[in-house]
Amino acid sequence: MTKTLKAEDKIKEAARSLFIEKGYEATRTRDIAEKSGINLALLNYYFKSKSQLFEMIMLETFQHFMKGVLSTLNDPNTSLTEKLEQFVDSYIDMLMSQPNLPYFIIGELKNKPGHLLEIIQQKETILQSVFFQQLRAKMPDTSPQASMQILVNLTSLTIFPFLAKPMIKGISHMSDPEFKKMMLERKKLIPKWIKMILDN
């Protein structure tokens, strides 16, 4: 499978892995070439420059990320409670298997806010998602900003612990398995907490 990739795709996969792991500045084109098993010159042949290769990968990664978010938040066949549970469950699984992804997205979104706004704002999909409709129906008396606060809470409680993993482990003297156990426990707790906030 991986062996049958064309050179162009081999480069892209190696670059994606390295950019996500180490960031743009710390990634060397030589390392991308070596990891992909192809020659350094081919990188420039196919992608013109390191920065253009990075741009392409960042856009793809971010679009894939947003697509994943929306697939859960836009499901018309699940209740609000089910969406909360699915969101937390699938995101915690994803973050456990790809721990560097949030650093990458958060970090790059800081450096290049402009580019990605276009993707976020395309058709205003999140604000108009089924999730948001269900949220507003549940909180009819509050301001529109109130449902945004709920989404911020949901993502904060889910994603931030993975960003703060080194600090959490240091403060509480946790091992890796203990940290994992704590995050699995949050799968049940976060939806419960969000519902408490909603029902306040």
* Site map (CB under 8 A) of its own copies, residues 12-51, x = contact: -----------x-xx-------------------------
Half-sphere exposure of 5 (CA within 13 A, CB side): 14
Contact predicate 186/161, CB 8 Å: yes
Contact predicate 54/17, CB 8 Å: no
Amino acid sitting at position 59? L
Binding to its own copies by residue 161, rule CB under 8 A?
yes
| Maximum Cα–Cα distance across the chain | 61
Binding to its own copies by residue 184, rule CB under 8 A?
no
51-90 binders of its own copies (CB under 8 A) = none
Binding to its own copies by residue 145, rule CB under 8 A?
yes
Distances (CA, A) of 163 to 1, 106, 120, 136: 32, 10, 22, 30
Tell me how many residues contact its own copies (CB under 8 A): 48
Interacting residue ranges for its own copies, rule: CB under 8 A = 23, 25-26, 100, 103, 106-107, 109-110, 113, 116-117, 120-121, 124, 126-127, 145, 148-149, 151-153, 155-157, 159-161, 163-164, 166-173, 182, 185-186, 189, 192-193, 196-197, 200
